[in-house]
Amino acid sequence: MAHQTMSFLIVVATLVFAPLCFAHNLYPQFYDHSCPKAKEIVYSVVAQAVAKEARMAASLLRLHFHDCFVKGCDASLLLDSSGSIVSEKGSNPNRNSARGFEVLDAIKSALEKECPNTVSCADILALAARDSTVITGGPSWEVPLGRRDSKGASLSGSNNNIPAPNNTFQTILTKFKLQGLDIVDLVALSGSHTIGNSRCTSFRQRLYNQSGNGLADMTLDKSYAAQLRSRCPRSGGDQNLFFLDFVSPTKFDNYYFKNLLASKGLLNSDQVLVTKNQQTMELVKKYAENSELFFEQFAKSMIKMGNISPLIGSSGEIRKNCRKINS
């Protein structure tokens, strides 16, 4: 009888507490016992890298996005080509564009010294994205952790899932929805373009031949367009760099949204948020008026993006080197 009661209590306790333990796949305290200094170590390497080059914050923030949109946040982006792996680094969105991989290497090697085989490259990407946001003046948030690293990459996923700057508004929204992100996430996360650079090749079409009639994009401010054309010629200069937010290019603030309202968004994918959809236009206005509202939603949307299909439990592995799978 006592035995039965005991078993009953254990079953009840399991049913009551199990959801509390397992409801969230990822949680911020994941490394608190296994690597208590993990978060500090990531922060200090990111801070050093950004002190050396301000743009690095933007580059690291973008890497988390390009990771999460391809097979989930599993550090597939960081794998170099080798054996059967074809690196995502060679995809259209990443080639000659994605950067910051050496910083990931530096963070990983510091973490391997402190606590070997413990902290995943996917979690490092998520932490580095948050730290980059904080260091440039943006909001902070607790990063859910416990992601594991993939044993493969997807070049086609990288080419197809990550929106292109000349995709239509509908295509971009569809690509977000396929990841479980909504229209509010789209606007808030596009606010990342308040920091960082773009190459001429990513927006040239707007300056010369937006719709195949030899004219510039009508929704682009005329004098801003003229200024851009001076360093982004009809041909050549593909790699020339331009600030995504020309007002405060290294500060995480809401000038990105203010610029959009002044028809001074750099990418076509930026400007369509005010020209192609009523709901996104209203969100842009709100975030332009109230940076706190933007910051709050940005943090929420970053956590949501960071939760895209993580590998957990015994799936995947903890890579020793972010560039290659453990063999």
Ligand X SMILES: *[C@@H]1O[C@H](CO)[C@@H](O)[C@H](O)[C@H]1NC(C)=O
Q: Which residues are annotated as a binding site for heme b?
A: 193
Contact positions with ligand X (CB under 6 A) in 165-194: 166
Q: What residues does 317 pair with on adjacent strands?
A: 149
Site map (CB under 6 A) of ligand HEM, residues 132-151, x = contact = --------------------
Contact positions with ligand X (CB under 6 A) in 226-245: none
Residue choice 87, 133, 154, 192 for contact with ligand HEM (CB under 6 A): 192
If one asks whether residue 212 binds ligand X (CB under 6 A), the answer comes out as: yes
Rank residues 166 and 227 by Cβ distance to ligand X and give the closer one.
Answer: 166
Residues 45 and 106: beta-carbon distance below 8 Å: yes
Residue 99 binding partner per list ligand X, ligand HEM, none, with a CB distance cut-off of 5 to 8 Å that depends on partner kind: ligand HEM
Residue type, 302: M
Residue 212 binding partner per list ligand X, ligand HEM, none, with a CB distance cut-off of 5 to 8 Å that depends on partner kind: ligand X
Contact positions with ligand X (CB under 6 A) in 70-109: none
DSSP for 207-276?
Answer: HH-TTSSS---TTS-HHHHHHHHHHS-SSS-TT-EEESSSSSTTS-SSHHHHHHHTT--SSHHHHHHHHS
Structure tokens at 218: 């009508």
Shortest approach of ligand X to residue 270 CB, angstroms? 15
Shortest approach of ligand X to residue 228 CB, angstroms? 17
Rank residues 37 and 234 by Cβ distance to ligand X and give the closer one.
Answer: 234
Candidates 31-39, 43-51, 112-120, 195-203: pick the segment binding ligand HEM (CB under 6 A).
Answer: 195-203
Candidates 12-20, 152-160, 183-191, 209-217: pick the segment binding ligand X (CB under 6 A).
Answer: 209-217
Residue choice 75, 104, 267, 311 for contact with ligand HEM (CB under 6 A): 267
Shortest approach of ligand HEM to residue 220 CB, angstroms? 15
- The tally of CA atoms less than 13 A away on the side-chain side of residue 101 is 21
Q: What residues does 148 pair with on adjacent strands?
A: 311
| Catalytic site positions | 66
Q: Are strands 197-199 and 241-243 parallel, antiparallel or unpaired?
A: antiparallel
Residue type, 89: K
* Number of residues this chain uses to bind ligand X (CB under 6 A): 5
Residue choice 124, 172, 311, 325 for contact with ligand HEM (CB under 6 A): 172
Neighbours of 198 (CB within 10 A): 19
Residue with tokens 């192609």: 276
Rank residues 44 and 209 by Cβ distance to ligand X and give the closer one.
Answer: 209
Whole-angstrom distance, CA of residue 299 vs CA of residue 307: 13
Residue choice 97, 150, 158, 259 for contact with ligand HEM (CB under 6 A): 97
Burial label, 160 (beta-carbon count in 10 A; 0-12, 13-18, 19+) = middle
Sign of the four-CA dihedral 7, 9, 10, 15: positive
Whole-angstrom distance, CA of residue 325 vs CA of residue 327: 6
Structure tokens at 299: 């943090």
Residue choice 133, 154, 248, 269 for contact with ligand HEM (CB under 6 A): 269
Give the interface with ligand HEM as residue ranges (CB under 6 A): 55, 58-59, 61-62, 65, 97, 99, 163-165, 172, 189-190, 192-193, 195-199, 202, 244, 267, 269
